[in-house]
A = this chain, B = another copy of it.
Amino acid sequence: MILRHSESVTRQAMTMPGAKNVAMQLLCGPGDGCPNFAMRKFTVAPGGETPKHQHDYEHEVYILAGDGVAFGNGAENAVHAGDSMYVPANELHQFRNTGAEPLVFICLVPAFVHQAGGPAAAAPPQAVDCSK
């Protein structure tokens, strides 16, 4: 068992074009031996947002804290702590913080996304203070 407190995990600024004040923490990834899926924790600062984007793999999301809007099914949907989402592959989606507190969520993806050569593997840790 690998046990870690998420606050001890390095925050990386989300580098995808269009991302605004989004930090990602890789809680479980290929480096841990996780064979099938990777667990990430995202923190979107007030006023921040992920880009509206799509890709050929799915998300499973659980909102931990905050208030925001999830774009999906071609519309904006209000989301709050305790909401879960399944975003199928190739669906256009976005997460936007509309509240005064950080919007925090867990987002799972297939493990290959973070494996060497995968679409997110190249995102380097950056010395950016994402806690504000």
Q: Which residues of A contact B (CB under 8 A)?
A: 1-7, 9, 27-28, 32-37, 39, 41, 58, 60, 62, 64, 70, 72-73, 77, 79-80, 82-89, 91, 93, 106, 108, 110
If over half of A's interface residues share one DSSP class (helix, strand or loop), that class is named, otherwise mixed; here it is: strand
**Measured between C-beta atoms, what is the minimum distance from A96 to chain B in Å?**
14
Oligomer copy total: 2
Q: Name A3's contact: one of B33, B79, B106 (CB within 8 Å).
A: B79
Known contacts A28-B60, A60-B28: A5-B36 contact under CB 8 Å: no
Inside 8 A of A36's CB, which chain B residues have their CB?
36-37, 58, 110
**Measured between C-beta atoms, what is the minimum distance from A109 to chain B in Å?**
9
Contact B108 A3 (CB under 8 A): no
Inside 8 A of A82's CB, which chain B residues have their CB?
5-7
Contact A37 B64 (CB under 8 A): no
Inside 8 A of A9's CB, which chain B residues have their CB?
84
The docked-state distance in angstroms from the alpha carbon of A70 to that of B5 is 13
**Measured between C-beta atoms, what is the minimum distance from A37 to chain B in Å?**
4
Known contacts A60-B28, A62-B106, A108-B108: A85-B1 contact under CB 8 Å: yes
